[in-house]
Structure 1
Amino acid sequence: MFDDRTRGVAETASPGDKGITRRAMLFRLGAGGLAVAGLPALLTACGEGSGSGEAKKHTLRIGLTSEMDSLNPFVQQSAAAVIATHLMFPTLTRQEGSEFTLTPDLAERYAVSDDGKKITFTLRTNGKWSDAKPITAEDVEFTINTLVRLKSSAAALLAQYVVGITEAVAEDAKTLVVTYSKPIANALALLSRVVILPKHVWTAPAAGDGAGLKSFTFNEKVVCGGQFVLEKYTPKQIVLLKEHRDWYGAKQSITTLGFLTFGSPDAMLKALETSQIDAVALLSPSAVGAGVDKLRTKNIKVEQAPGFVMNNLYFNVNPKKTKHRELLDPKVRKALSLAIDRERIVKVVLFEMGRPGSSLVYPAMGDWHDSSITPDPFDVAAANSILDDLGYKRGPDGIRIANSEPMSYTVNLASGLAGGSRIVQIISSGWEQVGVKVTSRTLDASAMIDAISAPDGKYLTNDVAVWGFLPASPDPSAVLDHFITDSIGGFNNCHYSDPEYDRLYVEQNATLDAAARREKVYQMQRRFFDARAMLALCYVDALSASGSKFTGYHMSGFGPFNAISRDQFTDIRPA
């Protein structure tokens, strides 16, 4: 489906570039949204504007249950916040359409050198910042070089998007040359993740160690250059954007765009039914459940597609962990995988809107997914046989003993994982049948990160964690890079470290031929699956729900809205 045409979007450094891989927690499925205080007034603020002159104003109101934590790209963690930020700032390229085809954005065109180490961009000349200053190649040069310079510190959360870049040079106002130390298979798409910042505004915050980048304040005066500018911002509650009249791209029908955070899926869907909002973003099957058909009877359009959300179980496989060291044995992890009823998770938690998980690379990623890797079946007898052969006998209470300790594990569960409690119940039920006890602990996103890496980032005390993930792009590197050694301390929730996996990652990253790269990606999938450091529990379908006021929504595995494309908003128009 995506094949060579997309080249992906999310990379980290190759092993050895320590610090680059402290990846942004952009797409973790973390804490749920807060209830919006004074919701009716805020909805009114996002309401339809009156026509002015010949131009009629059209307001699109989007509901969220996951709060926008920050619009600052150097600190933001929520997927919804990333979407808003990418609407406010230019990027060199974009990925458009149902197959995420790479297209120019701020760049009018680009050319890649024969050795793949230089990309020359010719920029549009009609771009302007919201303070009327022109957008030039110097802005792009400043942004990219700032990320490269501060990749191990203030810009670490965005550094994976400039992996391999040695420098960016503005040859003139319209021409930019980006130089790489080696070819990068999806370099052009990686750059679609870099929001271009106005040099004249961000130079001071980026000075020195760049500490000012993280403390930069976003308010109604922030200088933007994308298709929208910031109109109103109440952190974790509402983001209101209005059209940027000097935007360089195609004009859209939507002149005002409002994102509203609700305290629960039920409240959000009720607002959709009563036309207080027009559409919802990041809708989970667990949130809608059996109510999908009910929504359709209320003139709500519901669409479904194979999604990019994957719910996972992570084992701590740090060889230095202090307790329950039996979990370091792949045979034990395989037994525990066989004791998980993935089919039941799909049926009970996802209401059949998904499929059992197997490989690290999603089926929604098309040919990058190795379909020969199949989910472990629910086979309690086989699991018991493995544990019996390992000599882990049951104690008087039925719980097995390993290394003189009961096989009783605390499972850390992310509070914002839709259906997470039910998933852990199903895991617990299966593990109980093989003599393993589960005690669950629900934590918010920040506490989850701390618990997984406890104490103090050493990964010594955590045993098991359950969390979900939405990758930054449809490219396989957006998930493969989680488990290279240098991602420990970032998205590597397992403390997984395998030199051969690292080597293959570097090779596939630099392999420009799609078929040859795919073979290396398959090798990585198989190697990681066999280790069972992480168990893919289920792939979750993407859902969209929208009212009848607008048409032209683009449905994909990311849902109707994402931070990769612009056409999802430029094509929406009044019905």
Structure 2
Amino acid sequence: MKKFDRTKKKTVLLASTTALVLALAACGGDSDGGSSDNGGSAGGDNEETGEEEEPLFSIEDFEVIKGENGDDIIDGGSINVALVTDTPFEGTLNYNFYQGTYDAQILQWFDESLLAVDENYTYTQEGAATFEINDDGDVFTFTIGDNVNWSDGEPLTAEDWAFSFEVLGDEEYPGVRFTEASNIEGFNEYREGEADEISGLNVIDDKTLEITFTEANPSLLASGIWTYPMPKHIFEDIPVAEMESSPEVRENPIGYGAFVVDSITPGEAVVFKKNEDYWRGEPNLDEVVLSIVNPQVITQTLEAGDADIAVFPTDLYKDSYENLTNVEFLGITDLAYTYIGFQMGTWEDNQNVFDTEKQISDIELRKAMAYAVDNERVANQFYDGLRWGGTTLIPPSHPDYHDESIEGYTFDQDKANQILDDAGYEDVDGDGFREDPNGDELSLNFASMSGGDTAEPIATYYTQAWGQVGIKVELLDGRLQEFNTFYDRLEAADQAIDVYQGAWGVGSDVDPTGLWGSSAAYNYTRWTDEKNDELLAQGVSSEALNVEKRQEIYKEWQEYMVEQVPAFPTLYRAELTAVNNRVVNFAPFRASGTEVYLNELGVTADSAETAN
């Protein structure tokens, strides 16, 4: 990838980020919600200049790795890492229990997967454990390295790895990651209380674990195995229901990564010291200080050299990059997408329960809402090409499976209006908003998260765009929801929510079952469908060991999800990371196959460089 040229001339007109202007431009001004441009894309000719609006930036403008800078790495040193958010982190610092992205960004500094992956997210033999596979492809034998130890000095054993599966399968387990182990022989029986042990786990010796899976499937090698052990010597006497809130998770967590948790200021900061016994070798750095930094001040924090590394909000890049001469921006195609979801049921006894009587459960209403919004315009006007319109629920971070031929829901408000008309949604009382086919008021609550300067105007745009086709949609509680509150309410299937704007990290395995399966806790739409489950099962079956067959299955699944629209993707996105010029040997954690490891991370000066 080429390095971005800071002097690159801007040849396009910078669009307004005012939500009202965006809504009027995208939706037209017709009082009945009809589009003034016949439903065509809103990203056409600029009304003032006649020039075609084009994105300012591209993911191709960025390097993936921050390598050497020409100076020698100093001995030791400390760096500051910014956790960019306007909300405290939850502090659930164990892979078996965490849910929030910010906790994940903390975990990756002191804990890691036992297996490494290549650029295609396929397991390699370069991790803390190696493996062999039987001829049938359903039995894996893992060997943990002799030099792999927990940060308290205790050896990391096969019992620790088996113990993590037992925790996930315990009937008192409070988390959502039990689906990660459901492909192990006997796991579901253990979880349901029908067996006293997981039959597919065989601890051969201290460093060797054999796992038998229910069947060979392509997800096993594509990062489809749960590879996060738990230190049994610490957790075995703690009831599983109490582990998540225990000091061993919240206050004194341990791992086996390059750094060790030294201190935690709850919700605000974590100080790490180097793990001198790290299995890849002693780290260069002595210390890493991670602190919450509000998105509104992250640019100034970087300019002043008060942060060395920060995942940088893409919506701020356009106005910041020229002044940030003291950092280099790294960029990857994110394993994530933003989406609009429709909350159609409840979560009961670890199952999604689809409520067909909810107003939003009407597929015609959902299709109309999908056609009513212009995601390409949102991407260009708010993110300048660093996000782009989504089409299917498998993002382009998985190019072998993302089907570019599927158009998805392109902006077409004429079509949205026609769908609503045909389905019997009419404005009965003349207030400008439609009633449902039964003549009842149609008023939907929209949940969206706070965070960054664009959160509110984008949420406002969506509500206005839906209003343009006569659908009354209002912000839940009249405001944006704080991050933790937002996901707590979705997890609880809060019935006050009808529509929500979420964001998913899809993981390295393309299998979407953990997000969209009928028993998936993360399926916040609570929509269930027999054919959906059949296609998801086919995607991880033995027949899908053939890559072409698996591509065929996921093509059909993507098409079916567009047809059924329990949710629709709004934006795919680039992830940018700002790295101070003194920092060397760093790659974003979500970049795969870089072979750049945290013990190699270093600095070439005692203090961070400041902007000119």
Question: TM-score band (shorter)?
Answer: 0.7 to 0.9
Does the aligned pair in 2 maintain the 1:312–1:537 contact within 8 Å?
Answer: yes
The structure-2 alpha-carbon separation of the partners of 1:504 and 1:192, relative to structure 1 and needing over 3 Å to count, comes to closer
- Give the partner amino acid of 2:462: I
Partner of 1:267: 297
**Which residue, 379, 384, 399 being the options, matches 1:351?**
384
Relative to structure 1, the CA distance from residue 444 to residue 322 in structure 2 (aligned partners, 3 Å threshold; closer, same or farther) is farther
Going from structure 1 to structure 2, the CA distance change for 1:78 and 1:107 (only over 3 Å counts) comes to same
1:410 to 445, 448, 455: 445
Q: Which residue of structure 1 lines up, in the alignment, with residue 144 of structure 2?
A: 123
1:400 corresponds in structure 2 to 434
Higher relative helix content:
1
Q: How many residues align?
A: 500
> After alignment, is 54-63 or 223-232 more displaced?
54-63
| Partner residue in 1 for 2:11 | none
Name the CA distance, whole Å, in 1 between partners of 2:136 and 2:210: 14
Q: AA paired with 2:375? A: R
Map Cα deviations across residues 265-313 of structure 1 (whole Å, 9 max, x no partner): 13222121111111102x2212x142243244x2221233332332211
Cα separation, 2, equivalents of 1:566 and 1:82: 20
Distance 1:89 1:115 in 2: 32
Partners of 1:294 and 1:116 in 2: CA distance: 52
Identify which of 341, 346, 351 aligns with 1:314. 341
Q: TM-score, normalised on structure 2?
A: 0.75
TM-fit CA distance, 1:120: 0.5
Specify the alignment match of 2:44 in structure 1. Answer: none
Residue 193 of structure 2 corresponds to residue 160 of structure 1: no
* Residues 418 and 158 of structure 1: CA distance in aligned 2, closer, same or farther (over 3 Å): farther
Report the counterpart of residue 420 of structure 1 in structure 2.
Answer: 455
CA distance in 2, matches of 1:192, 1:56: 37
Tell me how far 1:555 sits from its aligned partner. Answer: 4.7
- Unmatched 5+ residue regions in structure 1? 1-53
Deviations 1:125-148 (A, max 9, x none): 12223333322323223333333x
Mapped to 2, the partners of 1:104 and 1:84 lie a distance apart of: 25
Distance 1:393 1:139 in 2: 60
Is 1:279 matched up with 2:317?
no
The structural deviation recorded for 1:91 is 3.2
Give, as a single letter, the amino acid of the residue that structure 1 aligns with 2:99. Q
**1:430 and 1:130 mapped to 2: Cα distance?**
53
Match of 1:305 in 2: 332
Q: Which amino acid aligns with 2:106?
A: A
User: How far apart are the structure 1 equivalents of 2:552 and 2:241?
Assistant: 40
Task: Specify whether residues 188 and 155 from structure 1 end up closer, same or farther in structure 2 by C-alpha distance, changes over 3 A only.
Answer: farther
1:502 to 530, 533, 545: 533
| 2:318 equivalent in structure 1 | 290
Cα separation, partners in 2 of 1:239 and 1:103, compared to 1, 3 Å: farther
Contact persistence 1:90–1:196 (CA under 8 A): no
- Give the structure 2 partner of residue 82 of structure 1: 104
Cα contact 1:360–1:480 (8 A) shared by 2: no
Q: Is 1:108–1:121's contact at 8 Å kept on the other side of the alignment?
A: yes
Structure-2 separation of matches of 1:83 and 1:450: 19
The structure 1 segments of at least 4 consecutive aligned residues displaced by more than 6 Å after TM superposition are none
Match of 1:59 among 66, 78, 98: 78
Q: Deviations over 1:427-463 (max 9, x none)?
A: 223222211222112223444345446xx64x65532
Residue in structure 2 matched with residue 7 of structure 1 by the alignment? none
SS at match of 1:365: coil
Structure 2: unaligned runs, 5 residues or longer: 1-72, 186-199, 346-353, 605-612
Deviations 1:23-58 (A, max 9, x none): xxxxxxxxxxxxxxxxxxxxxxxxxxxxxxx98212
Instruction: Tell me which of 519, 525, 542 is aligned to 1:486.
Output: 519
Per-residue deviation, residues 144-196 of structure 1 (Å, max 9, x unmatched): 3333x31x531643323322123322212232211212224222454765322
Q: 1:465 to 1:265 in 2, by over 3 A?
A: same
| 3-state SS of paired residue (1:501) | helix
Identity of aligned residues (%): 22
CA spacing shift, 1:295–1:60, aligned 2, 3 Å: same
2:370 maps to which of 337, 346, 349 = 337
For the structure 1 residues 193 and 138, does the alpha-carbon distance in structure 2 shift closer, same or farther, using more than 3 Å as the test? Answer: closer
- Measure the CA separation in 2 of the matches of 1:397 and 1:219: 52
Q: Which residue of 1 aligns with 2:53?
A: none
- In structure 1, C-alpha distance between the alignment counterparts of 2:370 and 2:251, rounded to whole Å: 50
1:109–1:194: structure 2 CA closer, same or farther, 3 Å change rule? closer
Q: Deviations over 1:210-237 (max 9, x none)?
A: 5345424347765432222111211211
Alignment of 1:83-482 (within 5 A): 83-89=105-111, 91-96=113-118, 98-104=119-125, 107-147=128-168, 149-150=169-170, 152-154=171-173, 156-166=175-185, 167-188=200-221, 190=223, 193-205=226-238, 207=239, 209-218=240-249, 222-262=253-293, 264-281=294-311, 283-286=312-315, 288-296=316-324, 298-318=325-345, 320=355, 325=359, 327-394=360-427, 395-402=429-436, 403-416=438-451, 419-441=454-476, 442-449=480-487, 451-452=489-490, 457=493, 460-471=495-506, 473-477=507-511, 479-482=512-515
Distance 1:513 1:347, change over 3 A: same
RMSD (CA atoms): 2.8
